[in-house]
Amino acid sequence: MSLTVLAVGASALVQDRGRFGWAHLGVPRAGALDGPAARLANRLVGNDEDAACLEVLLGGLTMSTDRSGWCAVTGARASVRVDGRPQEFAAAVWWPAGAVLEVATPGTGLRSYLAVAGGVAVAPVLGSRSTDTLAGVGPPPVRAGDVLPVGVTPGPPAASDVPRTPTPGPLRVRPGPRADRVAGDALALLCTTSYTVSPDSDRIGLRLLGVPLPLTRADELPSEGMVLGAVQVPPDGRPVVFLADHPTTGGYPVVAVVDEDDLWQCAQLRPGEPVRFTRAATG
Amino acid sequence: MRILPVGRHALLVEVSSPRDAVDLAGWARGQGLAREVVPGAETVLFDGLAGPVTGAEALDRALAAWRRTEPEPGRSVEIPVIYEGPDLANVAAVWGCAPDEVAARHAATEFVSAFCGFAPGFAYLSGLAVSVPRLATPRTRVPAGAVALAGPWCGVYPRESPGGWQVIGRTDAPLWDANRAEPALLAPGTRVRFVAR
């Protein structure tokens, strides 16, 4: 069974949970940026939560399938059509052989997730099918004309799946290793500054515009390991929140770390939208 | 060793040298302390702390079992180099020697891969006796296989990319292949010698 890609919008990438255990060789983890949305799409069609799906940036995706099966679209709320007929969002949708599926541009958010029963079955690289946009590990970005293999359907779709919808809110932060590179209380400054999302943001990092944080020193640190959610402050004082394709080592100070459970919001924030931080309650 | 907080699931351990970082990371990877153990220039990151080790005190106790090993006769790699690069004269000026002597000095150095970053399989090799400044203006395109120097480090570009390191030669050694059991030729801890060809 396979899917044929008829049209791609801004970008469509194969993503699963990502690549683990290779950071020491300089390989980013990659993986779906909005993890809860990707996992929900997989559950809806009966897949393992970590199966590979398509991460669709701002819609524009049109595909056909050569075998009937279930699919689901989650994440940024977009209209979904099969042969022109509107379908339910965030629900298992029957996709007949030969029919054309369209994922339109979402009204809010950035990234929608399309899961198909059986999962996208491109060859894994280092244990994952995810496309890493920083280092180019994994499959290339999906293009019109591509034929994507689909795996074996694991079982029937979930009868119902009503996950507790994650609530958007300020990004919860905990201290990072180099908080002392900011003059004053780094977390307090971060949490009292209003930021907006820069148009330069991508899968590597959510770049923020706002009053620059005052750094005590401008020189780089000896390179050190970086984590998902790291709030890195380059010499211009404008923080970058590291997302799934972040470099594995770097020399700019990390002053805070965003709670992993809040990073899905970073996948959906559009340029110009406001961002606030808040101190995480514990540990 | 100072242990610094890195959010909810990670800790950063400061050590005194690149050799200690690579040695500690190599030892710790075998202990199952974290999902990722990432050496840096003078640090080791423990990301995705596992089992009973979640806090700084527990990690400190676990790391107490680490003993600095003698320089191990570990994996050793020879990299053939053609010493022709646009920055040989720059490096010669910094080192105070003739351009062709740069090759001899470089090839006589025993390097150790300290850590990776920048690109998959790009290793920061320690061992240079005299540091070299970065280019004032980075190049937009450095070819794959370029052998280059910056700061106290030597590196080999696994693929074409932009870069600000001083290029002194080129190699066709297969630095990165995701399909190999050990994808990076110069994984941290590997001893490296360059051989003029």
Residues 124-143 of B with CB under 8 A from A: 124
Determine, yes or no, domain membership for A11: yes
Cβ neighbours, 10 Å, residue A225: 30
Cα three-residue angle A18-A90-A95, rounded to 5 degrees: 90
**Tokens linked to A181:** 């590179």
Tell me phi and psi for residue B161, to 5 degrees.
-160, 170
Domain end residue (candidates: A79, A114, A149): A149
A141 and A177 together in one domain? no
Residues carrying CATH 3.30.1360.40, chain B: 2-63
* SS3 assignment, position B49: strand
Query: pLDDT grade, residue B68 (50/70/90)?
Result: confident
Determine, yes or no, domain membership for A222: yes
A229 and A94 together in one domain? no
Rounded-to-integer distance, Cα A61 and Cα A56, Å = 7
A32 and A91 together in one domain? yes
Rounded-to-integer distance, Cα B189 and Cα B115, Å = 8
What proportion of chain A, given as a percentage, has pLDDT over 70?
97
Determine, yes or no, domain membership for A65: yes
Closest CA to A105 of A36, A199, A202, A9: A9
Provide the total of helices (H) and of strands (E) in chain A, helices listed first. Answer: 3, 21
Picking from B43, B48, B187, the nearest residue to A25 by CB comes out as B187
Cα three-residue angle A282-A182-A228, rounded to 5 degrees: 50
Determine, yes or no, domain membership for A165: no
Domain end residue (candidates: A149, A181, A201): A149
What is the pLDDT, as a whole number, of residue A215? 94
Class in CATH terms, B2-63: alpha beta
A31 and A104 together in one domain? yes
Tell me phi and psi for residue A225, to 5 degrees.
-65, 145
R_g of chain B, CA atoms, integer Å: 18
Rounded-to-integer distance, Cα A13 and Cα A31, Å = 10
Complex confidence, ipTM: 0.94
Determine, yes or no, domain membership for A164: no
B183 to chain A, minimum CA–CA distance in Å? Answer: 8
Count CB pairs under 8 A between chains A and B: 116
**Tokens linked to A115:** 């899961």
Between chains, do A225 and B44 touch, taking CB under 8 Å as contact? yes
Contacts of B188 in chain A (CB under 8 A): 24
Cα B169 to chain centroid distance, Å, stands at: 18
CATH number of the domain bearing residue A186: 2.40.100.10
Between chains, do A280 and B8 touch, taking CB under 8 Å as contact? yes
Give the residue-averaged pLDDT of A235-257: 95
Q: Which residues of A116-135 are buried (b: 16+ CB within 10 A; e: fewer)?
A: bbbbbbbeebbebbbbbbbb
Contacts of A27 in chain B (CB under 8 A): 120, 183
A10 and A120 together in one domain? yes
A135 and A188 together in one domain? no
A257 and A211 together in one domain? yes
Condensed to tens digits (0 to 9), the pLDDT of residues A16-57 reads: 999 999 999 999 999 999 999 999 999 999 999 999 999 999
Residue in this structure with the two tokens 């990234």, named with its chain if needed: A111
Tell me phi and psi for residue A159, to 5 degrees.
-60, -45
Residues of the domain holding A273: 171-279
Alpha-carbon distances of B156 from A179, A229, A267, B169, rounded to whole Å: 33, 29, 34, 9
Cα B88 to chain centroid distance, Å, stands at: 21
Are the C-beta atoms of residues A81 and A61 closer than 8 Å to each other? no
Q: What is the pTM of this model?
A: 0.94
**Helix B88-95 with B99-107: angle, nearest 10 deg:** 80
Query: pLDDT grade, residue A164 (50/70/90)?
Result: low
Rounded-to-integer distance, Cα B150 and Cα A105, Å = 45
Domain end residue (candidates: A117, A149, A181): A149
R_g of chain A, CA atoms, integer Å: 20
A138 and A86 together in one domain? yes
A27 to chain B, minimum CA–CA distance in Å? Answer: 5
Picking from B5, B117, B178, the nearest residue to A248 by CB comes out as B117
Residues carrying CATH 2.40.100.10, chain B: 76-196
Give the residue-averaged pLDDT of B100-124: 94
**Region of poorest pLDDT, from A49-63, B17-31, B80-94:** B17-31
Q: What share of chain A is helix, strand, coil (3-state, %, to 5)?
A: 10, 30, 55
Which 8-state DSSP code applies to residue B25? H
In the predicted structure, residue A283 carries a pLDDT above the cut 60: no
**Tokens linked to A36:** 């809860």
Ordered alpha helix ranges (H), chain A? 35-44, 186-192, 263-268
Mean pLDDT value across chain A: 95
A190 and A268 together in one domain? yes
Task: Please tell me the total count of domains within chain A.
Answer: 2
Range list of β-strands (E), B1-55: 2-6, 10-14, 34-39, 43-49
A41 and A135 together in one domain? yes
Are the C-beta atoms of residues A48 and A169 closer than 8 Å to each other? no
Between chains, do A23 and B6 touch, taking CB under 8 Å as contact? no
Q: In sequence order, what are the residues at sequence separation of 6 or more whose Cβ sits closer than 8 angstroms to the Cβ of residue A211?
A: A193
Condensed to tens digits (0 to 9), the pLDDT of residues A172-203 reads: 999 999 999 999 999 999 999 999 999 999 99
Rounded-to-integer distance, Cα B134 and Cα B131, Å = 10
Helix (H) or strand (E) holding A241: strand A240-242
A192 and A258 together in one domain? yes
What is the pLDDT, as a whole number, of residue B150? 95
Q: In sequence order, what are the residues at sequence separation of 6 or more whose Cβ sits closer than 8 angstroms to the Cβ of residue B28?
A: B34, B37, B44, B46, B63, B66
Rounded-to-integer distance, Cα B96 and Cα B85, Å = 17
Determine, yes or no, domain membership for A163: no
A230 and A132 together in one domain? no
Query: Which residues of A lie closer than 8 Å to B, measured between beta carbons?
Result: 20-27, 125-126, 135-137, 174-178, 222-227, 229-230, 247-250, 254, 256-260, 280, 283
Alpha-carbon distances of A94 from A61, A73, B179, rounded to whole Å: 17, 12, 37
Condensed to tens digits (0 to 9), the pLDDT of residues B113-172 reads: 999 998 899 999 999 999 999 998 889 999 999 999 999 999 999 989 888 999 999 999
* SS3 assignment, position B121: strand
Determine, yes or no, domain membership for A156: no
Q: In sequence order, what are the residues at sequence separation of 6 or more whose Cβ sits closer than 8 angstroms to the Cβ of residue A65?
A: A1, A2, A3, A4, A95, A96, A97, A98, A99, A101, A116, A150
Are the C-beta atoms of residues A156 and A241 closer than 8 Å to each other? no
CATH architecture for segment(s) B76-196:
Beta Barrel (2.40)
Condensed to tens digits (0 to 9), the pLDDT of residues A102-138 reads: 999 999 999 999 999 999 999 999 999 999 999 899 9
Ordered alpha helix ranges (H), A53-103? none
Determine, yes or no, domain membership for A27: yes
